[in-house]
Structure 1
Amino acid sequence: MTLDHLGPRICIMGPSNSGKSTLAAAIAHAQALPVVHLDQLHHLPHTDWVPRPADEFAALHDAAITGAHWVIEGNYSRLLPQRLERATGFILLDIGTVASLCRYLRRCWIEHDRRGGLEGGRDSVKWGMIRHIAVTTRTNRRRYEQQFRAVGLPKVRLASAHALADFYRLNGLSRRRRGSAS
């Protein structure tokens, strides 16, 4: 499926460290859409991932989805109904656990200025996050799959790193940052 089929308001979900932020940034660049990283709305900037008060996050989320065009990435299932009500397309990333763990370690040790990162924050290896990726994600994957089946929007499920790479190629997307040689 091409991006044109997904419309001007694309919702991306999937496990932690599956590539949601990178994909959202690539789509935003290719389609000239504003990108919204829900982790940045959920957490206070210049902290070590301290959450905002729930009502403040919900207000920021709801304001972000009022736009006519956007690509939004992140889960936060309690706010999903209103997001899906506004979305025109849905992408589920379902990259494997080992790949997600590798992405997490790379972002903590190598990619300090990553897409979707917290302003003024720096990712560091946390055992809680490793446990979340390795253990909690199994339950979340089942929930994401159920949500995917229930979504009545144009949708695409990218169930492997190979499928994700194919999607990038099919849609002329690039993982590179603008002005980056890597």
Structure 2
Amino acid sequence: MEGVDRIAIIGCGGSGKSTVARQLARILGAPLTHLDALYYDEHWTPLPQDEFAAQQEKLVTGERWIIEGNYASTLPIRLAAADIVIFLDLPATACLRGIAQRRWRYRGGQHRTDGVYDRITMNFVRYILDYRHTMRPRVRNLLQEHGPHVQLVTLTSRRHANRYIDRVQQERSR
């Protein structure tokens, strides 16, 4: 991943965005921002939309970064500055399994150190079930409109994501 300094990682909840982001940050030595940790405070209160957008505007001015999180309303900010977008486009069943595993591992709550926001509601489950029909087309449109210059990497399974991480690690080892 020579010459890639700004990485946006997007995808449905439970798709593995935080995991992939942590692995890439470790391999590449790039600063990592988890948007969930930025958006929610310790009391689960979200930032006002304009403040959330302003913080991202500031983040993307950095020379190197990895920012993970979907947040389609502010995705154009990240797309405008990104070199590469990693889109975790996993089936709903894999994402639901991902949130179940996360719940088991973290027992609920927000874990700011690793970007995990583990709050499962019926609305969140419906979002996951509907993601490929509602959000994915919106994300693809945003990519076309605001990110024609980015290298798009679409990963469609956890195995595919693991192979991608292994390939990046091998490239860095050379």
Q: Distance in 2 between matches of 1:40 and 1:170?
A: 28
**2:134 counterpart residue number:** 139
TM-score of the aligned structures, taking structure 2 as reference length? 0.83
Q: Specify every segment of 5 or more residues in structure 2 that has no aligned partner in the other structure, as ranges.
A: none
Higher strand share: 2
Q: Distance in 2 between matches of 1:107 and 1:4?
A: 32
2:26 aligned with 1:4: no
Q: Tell me the amino acid that sits aligned with residue 23 of structure 1.
A: V
Higher helix share: 2
SS at match of 1:141: helix
* Count of residue pairs brought into register by the alignment: 164
Indicate if the aligned counterparts of 2:92 and 2:131 stay in contact, CA closer than 8 A. no
Tell me: CA distance 1:56–1:149, structure 2 relative to 1, closer, same or farther (3 Å): closer
**2:28 counterpart residue number:** 31
Q: Specify every segment of 5 or more residues in structure 1 that has no aligned partner in the other structure, as ranges.
A: 174-182
**1:14 counterpart residue number:** 11
2:142 aligned with 1:167: no
Indicate if the aligned counterparts of 2:72 and 2:139 stay in contact, CA closer than 8 A. no
Q: How does 1:1-182 map to 2 (within 5 A)?
A: 3-4=1-2, 7-44=4-41, 46-47=42-43, 49-112=44-107, 115-118=114-117, 123-148=118-143, 151-172=148-169
Give the share of equivalent positions with the same residue, in percent. 33
Q: Distance in 1 between matches of 2:105 and 2:8?
A: 28
Tell me: CA distance 1:155–1:137, structure 2 relative to 1, closer, same or farther (3 Å): closer
- After superposition, the CA RMSD in angstroms is 2.1
